Structure 1
């Protein structure tokens, strides 16, 4: 088996979806299916159970995850030890972030990194920022942009690259929700307010604290994956949301929402990777570039 097949396997094991995994790996779904089938033939056991509607890991597939991760980690370590210091840095680096982060933080970082190390291949994956740390822990990517949690898991390295206020937002369009808010300029009737909340992650934890302080059993309109989608649903009048200011600034719907005059708190945003991955010159170089760029 080759290392690309192991990467394809881990992508499919993470997404459990052939189309999403093939997009992540920059190959077609039929090619991914053939590669997985070849891998299963070499392993001698099925790694996935698949039908027309779903994909699931077999017990052998679940066990194979650790082997694939360890093999790729050992290969990356070996390659880094073989690098000739007199030659330009080369290799691959994958990074996971939200769509907003790709505009607000990562564009400048990648531009500077590419200028300094043009022979390194950069791969960018976007998705729900609540999944950032899990993507790193599962070794789906080398580095991720993540909101710093209250307790950073052991074995991870974190480099702050910015901060953002958290804001309660509401629609500006005329709708039952905006009418309700207009009638209560003081303390809002929170028990009547529908909320659009993230499925999980730091922002959900912050909201849970807010609800607890208010002794509120919230009226939830929707659980949403991704901060950008929360702004969109809010602009349509479906509920109030709690989002980072940096997301609101980049949103095409920023003029269709209003901020509520409530005391706000901040989140810290940074790069996260497994500490052992800093032994890879490609990864450590990214952290050095980021430290210089965002300290300025």
Structure 2
């Protein structure tokens, strides 16, 4: 079975959008459709339920998705074994946030490429809160994410760096900033009435919910957004007080637009690292990147 067609199918299975897959793979929509049609002909039944408005995997499609993932992984491992020089070759799928891609991930990838130049890194970016889910669902081999408060037993986590979780306010003069400064001067911030910009999901949201509940605070939520970078951006515009890791505040390019809010009994530090399915670490490709990450940040392990 054509491994290229399997890759196209897996991309459609992830995006559930033929046009988006065509754009991601630099193909025409008709070429994507033909690749899927050929696979459906080989399988003997449709793999997707689709109409003009939506695309969804059916039962056969979900079964075939598992087969396609295993087949591609086995093919990559076979390629490595057949390499006459024993050099690692193949593809690793990595998910991370934009901030992670150009901060602590950069030296890991530089070291990995120097050691394994024949391995391709397929990077997908988005909200780090989705990282664990993407690994568990098999969309990606590895994800840069915050250590979950409750980690599934089939997931391994490699800590790389710690970053304090911080409240932040606008750095420029505005109503929100003046109010926080006035309340700090009086000795107590009235969190119940401050407009808060918070993550819509993920470990940061869980920690914030615990912090608010322990203090009996019923917050006034101005906005729930996806991604710490978006929170910092909204705070810099003077829309409210936000919460984000110090790493993101300093590296997002918007750090000058916000200022941290000092509080007593502050928020906990976050452990940021790599997540992978334990069974995927049996792959030499995945394990090699995992090991390079640990060697790049040896003090974190």
Q: TM-score, normalized by length of structure 2?
A: 0.88
Partner residue of 2:261? 260
Q: Is the alpha carbon distance of 1:18 and 1:221 closer, same or farther for their aligned partners in structure 2, counting shifts above 3 Å?
A: farther
Q: Is the alpha carbon distance of 1:54 and 1:157 closer, same or farther for their aligned partners in structure 2, counting shifts above 3 Å?
A: same
Deviation at 1:78, TM superposition (A): 4.7
Q: Is the alpha carbon distance of 1:265 and 1:3 closer, same or farther for their aligned partners in structure 2, counting shifts above 3 Å?
A: same
Q: Is the alpha carbon distance of 1:274 and 1:253 closer, same or farther for their aligned partners in structure 2, counting shifts above 3 Å?
A: same
Partner residue of 2:13? 13
Cα-to-partner distance string for 1:217-263 (whole Å, 9 max, x where unaligned) = 32222221111111111111222211011111112221111111122
Cα-to-partner distance string for 1:32-88 (whole Å, 9 max, x where unaligned) = 3332233333333333334454333334333433333343344445555x3458432
Partner residue of 1:42? 42
Distance 2:85 2:223 in 1: 55
Q: Is the alpha carbon distance of 1:222 and 1:4 closer, same or farther for their aligned partners in structure 2, counting shifts above 3 Å?
A: farther
Between 63-72 and 181-190, report the one with greater CA deviation. 63-72
Partner residue of 1:88? 87
Partner residue of 2:171? 172
Distance 2:227 2:29 in 1: 25
Cα-to-partner distance string for 1:137-174 (whole Å, 9 max, x where unaligned) = 12211111121112221122221111111110111334
Distance 1:248 1:29 in 2: 39
Contact 1:77 / 1:279 at 8 angstroms: preserved in 2? Answer: no
Partner residue of 1:289? 292
Cα-to-partner distance string for 1:273-292 (whole Å, 9 max, x where unaligned) = 12222222211211221121
Distance 2:141 2:166 in 1: 31
Q: Is the alpha carbon distance of 1:162 and 1:119 closer, same or farther for their aligned partners in structure 2, counting shifts above 3 Å?
A: same
Distance 2:53 2:172 in 1: 39
Distance 1:273 1:145 in 2: 9
Runs of 4+ off more than 6 Å: none
Partner residue of 1:100? 99
Contact 1:159 / 1:270 at 8 angstroms: preserved in 2? Answer: yes
Aligned residue pairs: how many? 295
Distance 2:12 2:188 in 1: 48
Contact 2:136 / 2:277 at 8 angstroms: preserved in 1? Answer: yes
Contact 2:76 / 2:90 at 8 angstroms: preserved in 1? Answer: no
Contact 1:224 / 1:230 at 8 angstroms: preserved in 2? Answer: yes
| SS state at 1:157 partner | strand
Contact 1:167 / 1:264 at 8 angstroms: preserved in 2? Answer: yes
Give RMSD over aligned pairs: 2.3
| SS state at 1:115 partner | helix
Q: Is the alpha carbon distance of 1:12 and 1:98 closer, same or farther for their aligned partners in structure 2, counting shifts above 3 Å?
A: same
Distance 2:198 2:31 in 1: 37
Between 270-279 and 129-138, report the one with greater CA deviation. 270-279
**Which runs of 5 or more structure 2 residues have no equivalent in the other structure?**
none
Deviation at 1:24, TM superposition (A): 4.5
Partner residue of 2:108? 109
Contact 1:24 / 1:125 at 8 angstroms: preserved in 2? Answer: no
Partner residue of 2:275? 272
1:220 paired to 2:216: no
